[in-house]
Amino acid sequence: MSFTGADVLIVGQGVAGSVLAWTLHQRGFSVHIVSSPELPSASSVAAGIVNPLTGRKLVKTWEADRLFPYLHRFYTGLANQLNTSFFTPLDVYRPYRDEAERRLYQTIAADPELQPYFQPAINDAAYSAVINNPFGGIQVMQAGWVDLPAFTAAVRDYFIDKQLFTYGQVRSDDLQTRPDSVTYLGKTYRYVIFSEGPHGQANPFFSALPYNVVKGEILTAEVADYPLTNIVNQGIFIMPLSATRIRIGATYSWHELDWKTTDVGRSFLETKARALLRIPFTVVDQRAGIRPSTVDRRPFVGWHQTYPSVGIFGGMGTKGVSLAPYLAHDLADHLALGKEINPAVNISRFHSL
């Protein structure tokens, strides 16, 4: 059957849906987005940090050598094209907890594979007025943060302007699926791709996929004068928003998986931040969200086994901002050129489920 409708219906406009819609649109696909303003979005809570080396042992992010150069070009280029700004490249300073951690991090930093990610010249003294860093610290490059509410709003406005965006909640019953097309509200698309974030767990098409969602909380605080321009990370992160505002995060909880803030979360973050910071701060905002994490910590990309016109671009977990650009580029190559989806993210790895 020759296909005459629009190419792709994208359901959900968090960071994943936004990046995918923009990428496909740039590649010449005809795209339409439907997203619900009522369902909460992980992207509206997230700090938006991109950091190639994470965790207590500075583990290199999966595919970092590809993801990080690409994402820097992607967000900078998109901001330029939309004549706005939402991406701040910066470093992440990791003050050592003690002498043992200093030795460990120095050993890790000597790995030639990690050289592109470490700042060779670090000015520990520049941090000392604000941060407790008696053992010094190490600094990770190619990091930064995306102001996700600003980013998603800019992408949404662009697609609204082109009449390629509709507010609404898509339910699986609203879709008529055929092997080579999908019809939604009287319009036919070659594909529907779900980017529902953590709400993907409730999607009957993909209910067998093994999510392992994680709740997270985050604080915004005011300070009299914050001189640092890099993120500081020691178990928690402290991210500068302006000369008088910082963001403090984040918690990880596999219990009470709702979107409500808790006193426990706030007190955990405040206590850690007070130990790390040498200056007073006042918390002015607290948010909670659900990260769309997966059991094997790899995203969910690909097509339904029985309905080949129904796809997913989700399961971005704790690193959606880093993962989405390159994975969207790969998915565009798959759609345009028939390139195979990376088996590590392809949901075909779960088809036996």
Q: Which residues of the chain form contacts with ligand FAD (CB under 6 A)?
A: 11-17, 34-36, 39, 41-43, 45-49, 169-170, 195-199, 216-218, 249-250, 289, 291-292, 314, 316-322
Nearer to ligand FAD, 88 or 128 (CB): 88
Minimum Å gap between C-beta 171 and ligand FAD is 7
Minimum Å gap between C-beta 119 and ligand FAD is 20
Distances (CA, A) of 347 to 105, 170, 203, 234, 298: 35, 21, 15, 34, 10
Minimum Å gap between C-beta 208 and ligand FAD is 17
Nearer to ligand FAD, 218 or 236 (CB): 218
Concatenate the DSSP letters of all residues of 199-230 into one string.
GGGG-GGGTTS-B--EEEEEEEEE-S-----S
Whose CA is closest to 248, among 41, 35, 47? 47
Helix (H) or strand (E) holding 22: helix 15-26
Residue 249 pairs in a beta bridge with 218, 237
Cβ neighbours of residue 84 closer than 8 Å, sequence gap 6 or more:
150, 154
Size of the chain, expressed as the number of residues it contains: 353
Nearer to ligand FAD, 49 or 273 (CB): 49
Nearer to ligand FAD, 137 or 197 (CB): 197
d(CA 241, CA 243): 7
Q: Which one-letter amino acid corresponds to residue 86?
A: F
> CA 78: distance to chain centroid?
16
Nearer to ligand FAD, 232 or 250 (CB): 250
Phi, psi of 300 (to 5 degrees): -110, 110
Residue 54 pairs in a beta bridge with 59
Minimum Å gap between C-beta 107 and ligand FAD is 27
d(CA 211, CA 298): 10
Q: Which one-letter amino acid corresponds to residue 40?
A: P
Minimum Å gap between C-beta 158 and ligand FAD is 16
Minimum Å gap between C-beta 5 and ligand FAD is 19
Could you tell me whether strands 181-184 and 187-194 are parallel, antiparallel, or unpaired per DSSP bridges? antiparallel
Minimum Å gap between C-beta 27 and ligand FAD is 19
Nearer to ligand FAD, 120 or 204 (CB): 204
SS3 content of the chain, % helix, strand, coil (to 5): 35, 30, 35
Q: Where are the alpha helices (DSSP H) in 221-319?
A: 263-276
Nearer to ligand FAD, 32 or 199 (CB): 199
Nearer to ligand FAD, 156 or 190 (CB): 156
Nearer to ligand FAD, 147 or 217 (CB): 217
d(CA 176, CA 182): 6
Concatenate the DSSP letters of all residues of 141-168 into one string.
EEEEEE-HHHHHHHHHHHHHHTT-EEE-
Minimum Å gap between C-beta 237 and ligand FAD is 8
Minimum Å gap between C-beta 201 and ligand FAD is 10
